Chains A and B, each alone.
Chain A
């Protein structure tokens, strides 16, 4: 459905933008 495709697109974009965030995240202590 259209709603499902829209959700996939939103998450695809989020994951694409996540790369820099993950690198930055790894610099934080546990």
Chain B
């Protein structure tokens, strides 16, 4: 795949993950494992957005 295609795919994945993270943040989750999983997802999401911005620049 080309860099452009990879960036497009990255954006699609980030949109999907951010939807789930946002949905999770709007719910009262007390399960520690789930909270941890959301935290990992959020971290990976920010990493992805950082990379996306870096490559776009």
Contact = CB atoms under 8 A, between A and B. Distances in A.
A4 B34 CA distance: 27
Interface size class of B (residues with CB under 8 A): 20 to 34
A4 B10 contact: yes
Contacts of A14: 13, 17, 41, 44
Given A21-B37, A25-B23, A25-B27, A8 B9 contact: yes
The prevalent SS among residues of B at the interface is helix
Interface of A: 1, 3-5, 7-8, 10-12, 14-15, 18, 21-22, 24-25, 28-30
Interface of B: 1, 3, 6-7, 9-10, 13-14, 16-17, 20, 23-24, 26-29, 34, 37, 41, 44, 47-48, 51, 55
